[in-house]
Amino acid sequence: MSILKIRTIGDPILTKIAKPVEEINDFILKLATEMIDTMIAGDGIGLAAPQVGYSIRMLAIDLSLIEKDALPMVYINPEITKTEGECEMEEGCLSVPEVFANVKRPEKITFAYTDLDWKKHSVFADGYLARVLQHEIDHLNGHLFVEQLDKTEKSKISKKLKKIKPDGWTPKSK
Ligand SMILES: [Zn+2]
């Protein structure tokens, strides 16, 4: 098992627009496994490739901490094609350790992605999956959840935010 270093807020890679994945090869398959291992070791429910130092459009999501029977999934080149409604939920991020805040986002989404067999899918999502996907796709576009908070939420986290060092951290393997 190899656990990758997680980049933290202040690292310039987190502000870049990630490039599309052009094919599935050994590098992508290895990275998919490493991203899943890193996310699980860090007690995360989602991880985007830029968070581990690769500016490419690829995500890992594992909702098993919230929903029983959920399996880790990898989404390549994910794209939201439709949004509906709005809701507020508390979010956190492995790149912004120990900071949690309420974020408003669309409640339901339709999204397209490619899987590790290079097959395309279009899927509807609501609940946690919709939430985590939107958070992770923001990473691929160079954005962090703390950028879009309202004033009250921003002031609640400002002290903690200033304490985060931009050198990253590596979760311990379990
Ligand atoms: Zn995040």
**pLDDT, tens digit, for every residue of 102-160?**
999 999 999 999 999 999 999 999 999 999 999 999 999 999 999 999 999 999 999 99
Domain ranges for the chain = 12-163
- Centre of ligand 1 to C-alpha 165, Å, is 16
Q: Give per-residue pLDDT as tens, 52-83.
A: 999 999 999 999 988 888 999 999 999 999 99
One of 3.20.20.370, 3.90.45.10, 3.40.50.620, 2.40.128.640 is the CATH number of 12-163, namely 3.90.45.10
- Centre of ligand 1 to C-alpha 25, Å, is 25
Q: How far apart are CA 113 and CA 132, in angstroms?
A: 15
23 is catalytic: no
3-class SS string, the chain: CCCCCECCCCCHHHHCCCECCCCCCHHHHHHHHHHHHHHHHCCCCEEEHHHHCCCECEEEECHHHCCCCCCCEEEEEEEEEEEECCEEEEEEECCEEEEEEEEEECCEEEEEEECCCCCEEEEEECHHHHHHHHHHHHHHCCCCHHHHCCHHHHHHHHHHHHHCCCCCECCCCC
pLDDT of residue 1: 77
Strand pairing report for 96-105 and 46-48: unpaired
- Centre of ligand 1 to C-alpha 119, Å, is 26
pLDDT of residue 68: 87
Amino acid code (one letter) for 7: R
pLDDT tier, 174 (very low <50, low <70, confident <90, very high otherwise) = confident
- Centre of ligand 1 to C-alpha 144, Å, is 6
Catalytic residue among 67, 136, 147, 153: 136
Amino acid code (one letter) for 142: G
Q: For residues 21 and 56, is the Cβ–Cβ distance under 8 A? A: yes
